[in-house]
Structures are given as structure tokens and as C-alpha cells.
Homo-oligomer: A and B are copies of this chain.
Amino acid sequence: MAAKRQTRAPVFAALGDETRLALVAKLCGGRPCSISQLTRGSKLTRQAITKHLRVLESAGVVHSIRMGRESRFEFDPQPLEGIRKYLDFVSEQWDQALSRLTSFVED
């Protein structure tokens, strides 16, 4: 549990940027995209986008496959499920705290 927590912060951090959220939103549509494709429509440089993609890749949110002269990036859902579990945990803790408070007041 503590070990798992150490692996969640980087995933959250990877999503803590508007540009990267936009990339994830595009890639979770299913069709793998090259760097150039992902750069079109953004005001940033190709290298900036590349760096963002590497951050997402390090967090495991995305992976790349070299296809000829282009490298295609594809979405990877596992890490997102991981942090969803964490949110579930927090939510549950909170709900239990609220119930305890309620039953205490009712005494």
C-alpha cells in the first residue's frame, strides 16, 4: 500500500498539466498518433510536445512504437485505473468519517 502510493504521485503529476491532459484526451480516442500529428493544432513546438509525451510515457500513461520514420504514441489505461483506485480509497475514508460524525451527533 505504501509502495503503491509511491507510484501514484508521478501519474498525478503527469496529468497536472493542461497540454498533457489535452494529449491524453486525444490519445484515449483510440487511434495512435505520431508526434507531428499531435503537434498540429498545438501552439507549441514539436520538441515541447515530445517532452510532454516523454513525461506521459515515463508515468506509463502512454507508450510509443517506432513505425518507419515516425513514432506513434498510444494510450495506456492501467495507470489511470491505479489513481482511480486511490480516489476511491480517499472517497471511502471520507464517507466513513462522515458516517462516524453523524452517528456521534445522533447520540
- Chain A positions within 8 Å of B, measured between CB atoms, are 5-6, 8-10, 12-18, 21-22, 24-25, 28-31, 75, 77, 80-81, 83-84, 86-87, 90-91, 93-94, 96-98, 100-101
Contacts and interface: CB of A to CB of B under 8 A. Distances in A.
A3 B63 CA distance: 28
Given A75-B94, A87-B80, A9 B29 contact: no
Copies in the complex: 2
Q: What is the interface of chain A mostly: helix, strand, loop, or mixed? A: helix
Given A28-B97, A30-B97, A101-B30, A91 B87 contact: no
**In the complex, the 8 A-B pairs of residues with the closest C-beta atoms, listed nearest first:** A30-B97, A13-B16, A12-B15, A12-B16, A16-B16, A28-B93, A28-B90, A9-B18
A83 B87 contact: yes
A93 B14 CA distance: 19
Contacts of A100: 30
